[in-house]
Amino acid sequence: MYQDFESELNWAIRHMPRTRAAVDALPGLQGVRLACNMHLDLKMAPLVAGLLDKGAEIFLTTCNPTTVQDDVVAWLERRGAVAYAWRDMSDNDWSESFDRALAWGPTHLCEMGADLTSRLHQSINGPHIKAGLEATGSGISCLEGITPRYPIFNWDDLPVKEGLHNRHMVGLTAWHTFFQTTHLTLHEKCVLVIGYGLVGQGVASAAKAYGGQVIVAETDPARVLQARYDGWEAVDLATAVSRADVIATATGARNVLSSAHLERVKDGVFILNVGHVAEEIDVGFLRGLSHSEPMPFVNAYQLADKTLYLLANGSMFNLTAGYGDSLNAFDVTLAVMAAGIGHITGVGEQQPAGLYLLPSSVWLPAL
């Protein structure tokens, strides 16, 4: 008989052998105080539990309150982690979580989105961090505007992260979640993908697999060309927005789908975001309109005589309304992350302050 969360967790551990092996290969982590700002879902639990077993002390915050699974956080707290994170926590509480994590006195940071690093660099005070690890494109963009006070290792740009997770899993799981949430496939629908980075590329090709007729809007001329060579119609967002039945943002930038765009969409359009921040869409504008929730994770907004369906309030759709990556695919990601933690708590912390790509000698053995 199905037995609840512990059963799911054991299932995850069973299907993440690379992560287990990478954690087993770490030395003892006694003395390491690791603040982790990340998606707190089931798939993270095997790694965090493994690090605790290795002797690390851990403070958990979330990079996105809409993706927190409270039972996972509670389980990790019982295992010894300190946490200040819960699903849909307010912006004030979320902001406070970063202050609490820094006040806890971490020696190392492991982040998805660089919130702790940004907060730390806004003040001359704060804990002495020996080294950090950053996993996301949005976090790396943010770090490029900072002069780091310690070595930070980027593993978003590794081919094994971008090329697998970003390129293949986000699109697949986003449309799988679309299907589960709306009970619709994309057949006969015009799907507008905004942003043609690796995430957008995967979103476009998976949309086709789910039956969609894909068009792509992108601001970088090189990526516009790439989209055309991949066989998509590259369009101007301002004019094409009124053609789409489904719109997916995948840029990592803010206000990409502005109120002016939203005024021009079709009646019955579905809008979702898979980029790091919900503000890729002007959700503030939509919230000012009258709305209802016809299905879980589907909000229907009335704009004059049109209905717009915003999925998961604009937050990362595949993670908020769905499970995100498959366990086997995320196993690769987490194994690299575990190896990265070994690096930042070992020789990596001896590097001069700066932003580095995680060396291949660190992550290749984890594959």
Interacting residues toward ligand NAD by CB under 6 A: 136-138, 162, 165-166, 170, 194-200, 217-220, 223, 237, 250-253, 256, 274-276, 316, 318-319, 324
| 269's tokens | 């359009």
Name the minimum Å distance from CB 13 to ligand NAD. Answer: 21
Contacts of 226 (CB under 8 A, 6+ apart): 196, 201
Of the pair 57, 111, the CB lying nearest ligand NAD is at 111
**What single-letter amino acid sits at 363?**
W
Q: Which is nearer to ligand NAD, 56 or 217 (CB)?
A: 217
Question: In the complex, what is the shortest distance from the CB of residue 25 to ligand NAD, in angstroms, rounded to a whole number?
Answer: 25
Residue 142 tokens read as 């943010």
Residue (of 164, 200, 208) closest to 326 by Cα position: 164
Nearer to ligand NAD, 171 or 348 (CB): 171
Shorter beta-carbon distance to ligand NAD: residue 56 or 170: 170
Strands (E), the chain: 33-38, 57-62, 82-83, 108-111, 131-134, 151-154, 190-194, 213-217, 233-234, 246-249, 269-273, 291-295, 298-303, 306-311, 354-357
d(CA 90, CA 129): 27
Please state the closest distance from residue 51 (CB atom) to ligand NAD, in A: 22
CB of 181 to ligand NAD, least distance (A): 15
Rounded least distance, CB 242 to ligand NAD, Å:
16
Nearer to ligand NAD, 70 or 220 (CB): 220
Q: Please return the burial class of 147, using the count of CB atoms within 10 Å of its CB with bins 0-12, 13-18 and 19+.
A: exposed
CB 60 within 8 A of CB 68: no
188: how many CB neighbours lie within 10 A of its CB?
A: 9
By beta-carbon proximity to ligand NAD, the closer residue of 56 and 198 is 198
- Tell the smallest beta-carbon distance from residue 222 to ligand NAD (Å): 8
Minimum separation from the CB atom of position 165 to ligand NAD (A): 6
Q: Nearer to ligand NAD by C-beta: 26 or 186?
A: 186
Least CB distance to ligand NAD at residue 302 (A): 26
Question: Would you say 93 or 162 has its CB closer to ligand NAD?
Answer: 162
Of all residues in this chain, which one has the CB nearest to ligand NAD in the complex?
197
Complete edge-to-edge strand list for the sheet that includes strand 354-357: 82-83, 57-62, 33-38, 108-111, 131-134, 151-154, 354-357
Exposure of 145 by Cβ count < 10 A (0-12 exposed, 13-18 middle, 19+ buried)?
exposed
